[in-house]
Structure 1
């Protein structure tokens, strides 16, 4: 499909990842003419920003984009990177999504004038589906380090790194999985921990994700939390789907030779410096995991479910002292697993709060006809993920249809225009 300069479209969806594709499916179901703009290719984030051994941390059965649930032979397994890309490509082809690839939206003005790399178009309504992971976040202290550095989104495999030890900064999902990847390859890893929680892979006979799904956790809306803003900013629990799925136990890695540190707080050309919080970080991660098990136990008891008993986790290693410094001598590379930030500078429409976050309710902004989809915790934990984006896409598509019929939704309120 080609983009025609000067054309007008009833609806333009900006972004061709899972959120944009799911929105397109819902719009087609409602008979709404639209076009999807994708700056790269379908599945570009999965193709370009994931390492070779990457796999999902949620079971395959949670891959349930609208009209296209996972139907492979391993619903309890975890798709690897190339299988995820194939899933999205097959989805696009199955429904003949009206997508234009290789065209980036560079400006969105009030009145929905959209400047792109292939010309300027206008829209009656716009859905921004560009996702939350646009610009890598790297601390300024990185400028002081004389060693090779890369962000987690640039990491592919251990062999791409120079000889020497590797420092991984950050223990979110990417940091822990990359540290494991390097550790399994025989590299000496120095891991700077943070406050990210962990979760067990399996408990009492089922994947923990399965238990949480049955308990309704993934259907809990953000408005049900007293600290909604804090919930949106929480780090994801670290775990892995590698080799059929298992826990990521940093204490076990330490027994095997991985070097653990507290939070990285400073650096110069010769030395990294860490906070004295390693024990607290490990204990916090374990406490969150055990708390989730408590909730599963309570659910099993309340529902009178016949589930096998399971012994609780016992720490296999404790730090005697927390190393506060690390010499850069012998360090070959530093990997910054420090997350991303949004880049909405191209959107020239007043829909952002004082911190630059889109003001919305379930993706509906205060500007009639402008929507977001794929934001973390847009409505539930699954927003933007394969498991929950279908519900968000349906909600946004229904608001688009109502807008076309003269019903305006603003921040959750609505009025009918005569």
Structure 2
């Protein structure tokens, strides 16, 4: 469909699960809109994941407005290409007004309250805008990487595909969020010697007392808790995801067991001096902390089982199979034969194209359930935007439904004001014009 030169009631930027969910609700409300996707539907799952990647959340949690996983393995974990296909089928199920291969390079708001979107296909305007581009924009590689030897191959987790992509020899993986642990496992299973810089990310058991841990937590209502129920919302939003895997039907990721099998675990990466890297002395504390979180989740499940009178098999608690003998230390990359470094250090947000003052000092959009202080501008698909599932298939529908109600209400107010103005009895000055003047 054509984009340049047109005006829409709503422009949705981003055609992933968040943007498509938003489109579904706007379609239900017969709201004129367009969805602008920089690549093509499913691009992130198809192009920015490694070959053995699969979801950590079970397939039954893949549910979007008007559409849900209907395959024969609800308790399994879809690999990346299947996730991309799931999204493509979702889009085909309701044929959203989607424009693919077009990037929004600038978003501004005029004094008259209209949003202008400069795109690679020309200029378009909208009364309201939903930013559904997620939080994972620019690979975050620490500046310390510049100090490593020039001959060392370095890739970010978003660029890693498989062990054969890297030169022969040991590999240093930095970071133990979900990506770092799963990539370290991928290399380890391929027979590569792995050095892993372990951070403070928590872990969770894949299964406990006869069920997937996430199934227990879902039944317990954990994923329905709003961010306002937590004492420190900012801290919750910045939490690292628990590491586990859906590979081979799903299992725990036990870094201690990897160590027994020959993986070298280190503390957090601290410094680089030529071919020598140094690590903090926090390895034991980080492993203990991850285990404590996993045990805390099990404690909550135990309490729920007891209170609800559920019959579930008993299960012994995890016993550490390995304990580090030393803390801190250095690694001579050349002497160890390390040929590559994988930076599993996350992503930075990049909202520089949004020229509207709705960000805090860290560049995070200030919002209340996705509604910003700028009338007509919304965010969707952010981690913990409202619940744990906000940035995932499991909970984005609830956020999209909420925002669609706000968008529809704003349209009704605008229509009422315009009718009053045409009748010669304006009820009030447009509040959005006043906001822009104050900004």
Structure-2-length-normalised TM-score: 0.92
In the alignment, the residues of structure 2 paired with residue 122 and residue 150 of structure 1 have an alpha-carbon distance, to the nearest angstrom, of: 39
In the alignment, the residues of structure 2 paired with residue 118 and residue 395 of structure 1 have an alpha-carbon distance, to the nearest angstrom, of: 30
Residues 24-43 of structure 1: CA deviation (Å, up to 9, x unaligned): 00110111111000000101
3-state SS of 1:199 partner: coil
Q: What RMSD, in angstroms, separates the aligned Cα atoms of the two structures?
A: 1.2
User: Which structure would you say has the larger Rg?
Assistant: 2
Q: Give the structure 2 partner of residue 413 of structure 1.
A: none
Q: Give the structure 1 partner of residue 42 of structure 2.
A: 43
In the alignment, the residues of structure 1 paired with residue 404 and residue 27 of structure 2 have an alpha-carbon distance, to the nearest angstrom, of: 9
In the alignment, the residues of structure 2 paired with residue 98 and residue 328 of structure 1 have an alpha-carbon distance, to the nearest angstrom, of: 52
Q: Give 1:367's match in structure 2, choosing from 367, 374, 385.
A: 374
| Aligned pairs for 1:198-209 within 5 A | 198-209=203-214
- Matched-pair contact (CA < 8 Å) for 1:167–1:192: yes
3-state SS of 1:123 partner: strand
In the alignment, the residues of structure 1 paired with residue 62 and residue 107 of structure 2 have an alpha-carbon distance, to the nearest angstrom, of: 31
3-state SS of 2:389 partner: coil
- Matched-pair contact (CA < 8 Å) for 1:8–1:123: yes
- Matched-pair contact (CA < 8 Å) for 2:13–2:104: yes
| Aligned pairs for 1:11-90 within 5 A | 11-90=10-89
Runs of 4+ in 1 over 2 A off after TM superposition: none
Q: Give 1:113's match in structure 2, choosing from 113, 116, 124.
A: 116
- Matched-pair contact (CA < 8 Å) for 1:168–1:191: yes
Q: Give the structure 1 partner of residue 141 of structure 2.
A: 138
3-state SS of 1:175 partner: helix
3-state SS of 1:154 partner: coil
User: How far apart are 1:44 and its partner, in Å?
Assistant: 1.2
Q: Give the structure 1 partner of residue 182 of structure 2.
A: 177
Task: State whether structure 2 residue 351 is matched by structure 1 residue 352.
Answer: no
Q: Give 2:395's match in structure 1, choosing from 388, 392, 412.
A: 388
3-state SS of 2:339 partner: strand
Q: Give the structure 2 partner of residue 376 of structure 1.
A: 383
- Matched-pair contact (CA < 8 Å) for 2:282–2:328: no
Gaps of 5+ in 1: 409-415
Q: Give the structure 1 partner of residue 282 of structure 2.
A: 277
Q: Give 2:315's match in structure 1, choosing from 310, 313, 327.
A: 310
In the alignment, the residues of structure 2 paired with residue 356 and residue 417 of structure 1 have an alpha-carbon distance, to the nearest angstrom, of: 33
User: How far apart are 1:225 and its partner, in Å?
Assistant: 0.2
3-state SS of 1:284 partner: helix
Task: State whether structure 2 residue 254 is matched by structure 1 residue 249.
Answer: yes
Q: Give the structure 1 partner of residue 343 of structure 2.
A: 336
Q: Give the structure 1 partner of residue 435 of structure 2.
A: none
- Matched-pair contact (CA < 8 Å) for 2:381–2:391: yes
Residues 32-57 of structure 1: CA deviation (Å, up to 9, x unaligned): 11100000010111111100000000
Q: Give the structure 1 partner of residue 437 of structure 2.
A: none
In the alignment, the residues of structure 1 paired with residue 68 and residue 91 of structure 2 have an alpha-carbon distance, to the nearest angstrom, of: 13
3-state SS of 2:55 partner: coil
Q: Give the structure 1 partner of residue 436 of structure 2.
A: none
| Aligned pairs for 1:92-241 within 5 A | 92-110=91-109, 111-146=114-149, 147-241=152-246
3-state SS of 2:402 partner: helix
Q: Give the structure 1 partner of residue 419 of structure 2.
A: none
- Matched-pair contact (CA < 8 Å) for 1:406–1:417: no
Higher helix fraction (1 or 2):
2
Q: Give the structure 2 partner of residue 327 of structure 1.
A: 332
In the alignment, the residues of structure 2 paired with residue 114 and residue 305 of structure 1 have an alpha-carbon distance, to the nearest angstrom, of: 54
3-state SS of 1:265 partner: strand
